[in-house]
Amino acid sequence: MDHAKMFIVLIFALTGWAFGPLPQPIISLTLILYLDVLGISSFGTGLEGYAQPFVWLLVATFIIAAAFENTGLGRRIALVIFSLVKGNGNASVALVIVALTALSFLIPTGAGRIAMILPVCVGLIEVVKENNLGKTYAKNVLLGVTITSSIMSFSLITGSSSSVYAASAINNLTGYTWNYLSWFVAHFPIALAFIFSLWLILRWRFPLKAEEGGKGKEYIDRQLAEIGKVKKSELKLIIISIFMIVAWMTEPLHHYSVAMIAMLSALLCCFPITGMQTWKQASSKIDWDVIILFGAAYALADAMHTNGTASWLASILAEFIPAKSPVLAAIVMVSIVTVFRLGFANMLGVTAVFLPLTISLAEALSINPIWLAQIVIITCSFGYFLPSQSPANLMTYSKGEYTKAELSTVGIFMLIVTIPIMYIFAFYYWPLIGLNPF
């Protein structure tokens, strides 16, 4: 009976988060009430997710992202990277992707990264179009940043609300603690391999003419001249950002958590002397919808684990998979998650649903749950088939420069290439850094 109740809640979460009959915050808060009404977990227990340090890591990163927007430093970083282009269209596309990758270290959401870089990309495209060129250039640029943003969502522990959630949920469900550096070492090389594959696919699918992108250098130079020299507020933010990233990387030495360092950095951005924005400016940029969804996702995962439903579902699935067979387990979970991901408008929702199931399945099959969980987390980022799969997709698709079919085609080729890459890293690279299948 308890499993039946939990299954009802699970269906409610799946349909609500995936198809959105109501705004996601309403679905999320209703889910917490639903767990109490059905006697699965108390209302107080459901709210415990909002007290997790990783929730406040999200709040802090939103505040820091607001500082990059308010000071214009994020745009300047993108323009400086673009300025390295010497009139070569393919190099221009590559540097657009590099700029988006760089911003991912500082901006915690895919939509936030796209919002920061999209105006510059559109400006580049318009300049190229002035010479009656630019159709394939626009597809390269916009599809490049769209898919790169999805890829970077798993590469850093602060790369997205989903990776922040995943690290927190893994700690809660298994007791294993990821730090910034260990997550970076495990995931960033895979992300680089994915991004390089994307660049090759775009070059093959949408080949550029020699002259396309050549005028972009002039546009970038004009934009840099307009924003002028580095302002005092930008310099402060540069110093705070360097401090934050170095402190994240050296967490094993000083033992201050990623969340605590992020909160200190966020407050420094708002303090009278060190800051460059007011609290009102910063707080207006906090995406409370994501925070509410995070807490509900945590409550769902905790309920599935403590209620035993995740283990029950895993035991059913385990009947079709031989024990100690990480290859088959990975194939099954990647297939299931990829299909379900088509219906979700955000990575966090699908991660919340499948992470507890993955951990229970791994334990049932005598496989390392951390190992299999990381494969599923990467698979949850495969949101580059439909415009509706993420806000970032919708933002670039709305520019009208590429079609749904073109996005799906590139996404399918990416899937064909990246899944084998992921398996190679999972079976041959991860064991070298201590993350083994067993």
Q: DSSP letters along 361-394, please?
A: HHHHTT--HHHHHHHHHHHHT---SSGGG-HHHH
Among 399, 349, 345, CA closest to 117: 399
* Structure confidence at residue 235 (pLDDT): 95
Q: Which of 188, 82, 87 is nearest to 145 (CA)?
A: 82
CA pseudo-torsion sign 150, 155, 156, 161? positive
Burial 257-290 (b: 16+ CB within 10 A, else e): bbbbbbbbbbbbbbeeeebbbeeebbeebbbeeb
pTM of the predicted model, to two decimals? 0.86
Whole-angstrom Cα distance, residue 198 to residue 85?
19
Q: How far apart are CA 217 and CA 92, in angstroms?
A: 9
Phi/psi region, residue 41 (left: phi>0; alpha: psi -120 to 50; beta: rest), is: beta
Amino acid at 336: I
Quick one: DSSP state of residue 342?
T
Cα dist. 341→19, 163, 278 in Å?
11, 15, 38
Give the number of residues written for the chain.
Answer: 438
Q: Note whether 329 and 374 are within 8 A (CB).
A: no
> How distant is the alpha carbon of residue 408 from its chain centre?
19
In angstroms, rounded to a whole number, what is the distance separating the alpha carbons of residues 207 and 201? 10
Radius of gyration, CA atoms only, the chain: 22
Task: Count Cβ atoms within 10 A of the Cβ of residue 225 and give its class: 0-12 exposed, 13-18 middle, 19 or more buried.
Answer: exposed
Q: Residue with structure tokens 């990467």?
A: 378
The interaxial angle of helices 180-205 and 404-424, nearest 10 deg, is: 130
Asked whether 249 and 118 are in contact (CB, 8 A), the reply is: no
The C-alpha angle 415, 418, 422, rounded to 5 degrees, equals 130
Q: Which of 403, 398, 296, 285 is nearest to 346 (CA)?
A: 296
> In a 3-state reduction of DSSP, which class is residue 114?
helix
- Residue in 55, 109, 22 with CA at minimum distance from that of residue 299: 55
Q: How much is the pLDDT for 88? A: 63
Pair of tokens at residue 357: 């199931």
How far apart are alpha carbons 385 and 398 in whole angstroms?
15
Tell me how far CA of residue 321 lies from CA of 166, 327, 330, in angstroms: 24, 10, 10
Q: What is the DSSP letter of 207?
A: P
pLDDT tens across the length of the chain (438 residues): 678 888 888 888 877 876 766 788 898 899 999 899 988 889 998 898 898 888 898 899 889 888 988 898 888 887 887 777 665 667 778 888 988 898 888 887 777 788 888 888 887 777 776 655 567 888 999 999 999 999 999 999 998 888 999 999 999 889 999 999 999 999 999 999 999 999 999 999 998 765 555 556 677 788 888 888 999 999 999 999 999 999 999 998 998 998 999 999 999 999 999 999 999 999 998 888 888 988 888 888 888 888 888 888 888 888 888 888 999 999 999 999 998 888 777 788 889 889 999 999 999 999 999 999 999 999 999 988 888 888 888 889 988 889 999 999 999 999 999 999 999 999 999 999 999 998
The pLDDT of residue 365 is 93
Q: CA–CA separation, 405 vs 205, rounded Å?
A: 13
